Structure 1
Amino acid sequence: MTKKALVLVDIQNDYFEGGDWPVHLMEKAAANAARLLESARANGDMVVHIRHEIPSPDAPFFRPGSNGAQHHSSVAPLAGEAVILKHRANSFQDTSLKQDLDAAGITDLVICGAMSQMCIDATTRAASDFGYAVTVAEDACGAKEAVFGGVTVDAAQVHAAFMAPLAMSYAKVVATEELL
């Protein structure tokens, strides 16, 4: 029998308009994540909220103790839901995430949040490597434009460029509606 957990990664204030590091279409991604959260709660699935802090007062965003580093109100944790603080892109690295999931007998993960090209990618690949059956709710994830070698890649292309290889080898990548 499978046992599912919803993992909400870095849906934090700094990623929204007015924050220090706004992510393209983050409001839409968060609205879809909120729908997944409501469903997970109704189904009795485990819910894990991941919160990222960059442990430096000079960090461009997610500074410890700042409002920007707090969970966005649309997906605020309830009492009893797991909240894990991380300092790296991979939500498993130097955290209790794997131990918490294993202790609860979790076999299947639904992952959403931000950013597609960083923490969603790293967390999804690690989860797959640990043997979890992983689903990424792609429209509940947000990406940010990227610049490399003088080329600017818009957020939609960045998102697609990361979802495609995840779908190829690491996870089932679907829209929120399909999960609901």
Structure 2
Amino acid sequence: MRSIYLVLDMENDLIAEDGPNGKGPLGEQVRSRGIIPRTANAIAKARAAGVPIGYVRVGFSPDYREAPDTSVIFSGAKQHGLFKLGSWGTEVHKDLAPQAGDFDIVKHRVSPFWATNLEAILRAHRIERIFCSGVSTVAVVQGTVRDAHDRDYVCVVLEDCCASANAEDHAAGIRALQRFASFTTSEEVDFSA
């Protein structure tokens, strides 16, 4: 089964220790759960198995023309200068840095399928299974799994590489996905199976 590993929203504005969210509850969960080193381990395993890596990043043009004023999640991005493409904040965390040949999927909403290049990448490479992880569990991880499921992809979530702003939200997010995906960890994952 042809696979891809999607690394979801692991960008500086969300997870860097000195980034705006890294200083808050999400950053604390990312650090306490060891999300960055576990994700780096998973990326290395995927590369060793010859599985392509896709980095999904949320980002907007410098004038925020794609940011919806009606969104509870994104309406504050412009006000706070978050998720501005071309800035440090939308770069993938340095410990997870993309390499030549990796895919860059820039999204303007929660789901990486909505108005992005992801579907074209999956079709061009005849992908059938999506491994994924990232932040946050209740947003991009859920959005990815639900949309992938409805497009007939097999979904596998690396649970120990996901986090939300608190442990309760993370656990609830994982419980909500039980019917749509299978779960593994960065230690147990077998990308070649």
Q: Which TM-score applies when normalising by structure 1?
A: 0.87
Decide which structure has greater strand share.
Answer: 1
Whether 1:173 aligns to 2:183 is: yes
Percent same amino acid among aligned pairs?
29
Matched residue, 1:49: 55
Gaps in structure 1 of 5+ consecutive residues: 145-154
Q: Measure how far apart 1:58 and its partner are.
A: 2.0
Instruction: Supply the distance in 2 between the matched residues of 1:59 and 1:102 (Cα, whole angstroms).
Output: 36
Aligned 8 A contact 2:29 2:167 in 1: no
Instruction: Supply the distance in 1 between the matched residues of 2:124 and 2:80 (Cα, whole angstroms).
Output: 34
- Secondary structure, in 3 states, of the residue corresponding to 1:102? helix
**Number of aligned residues:** 168
- Secondary structure, in 3 states, of the residue corresponding to 1:21? coil
Instruction: Supply the distance in 2 between the matched residues of 1:139 and 1:61 (Cα, whole angstroms).
Output: 26
Instruction: Supply the distance in 2 between the matched residues of 1:33 and 1:110 (Cα, whole angstroms).
Output: 12
- Secondary structure, in 3 states, of the residue corresponding to 2:105? strand
Q: Measure how far apart 1:84 and its partner are.
A: 1.1
Q: Map residues 56-75 of structure 1 onto 2, 5 A cutoff.
A: 56=64, 57-59=78-80, 61-75=82-96
- Secondary structure, in 3 states, of the residue corresponding to 1:178? coil
Instruction: Supply the distance in 2 between the matched residues of 1:91 and 1:134 (Cα, whole angstroms).
Output: 14
Matched residue, 2:73: none
Once the two structures are superposed, residues 120-148 of structure 1 have per-residue CA deviations (whole angstroms, 9 ceiling, x without a partner) of: 1111110111111100001101211xxxx
Instruction: Supply the distance in 2 between the matched residues of 1:179 and 1:59 (Cα, whole angstroms).
Output: 37
Q: Structure 2 counterpart of 1:112, which letter?
A: S
Q: Measure how far apart 1:105 and its partner are.
A: 1.0
Q: Which TM-score applies when normalising by structure 2?
A: 0.82
**Cα RMSD for the two superposed structures:** 1.4
Gaps in structure 2 of 5+ consecutive residues: 65-77
Match of 2:29 among 9, 12, 25: 25
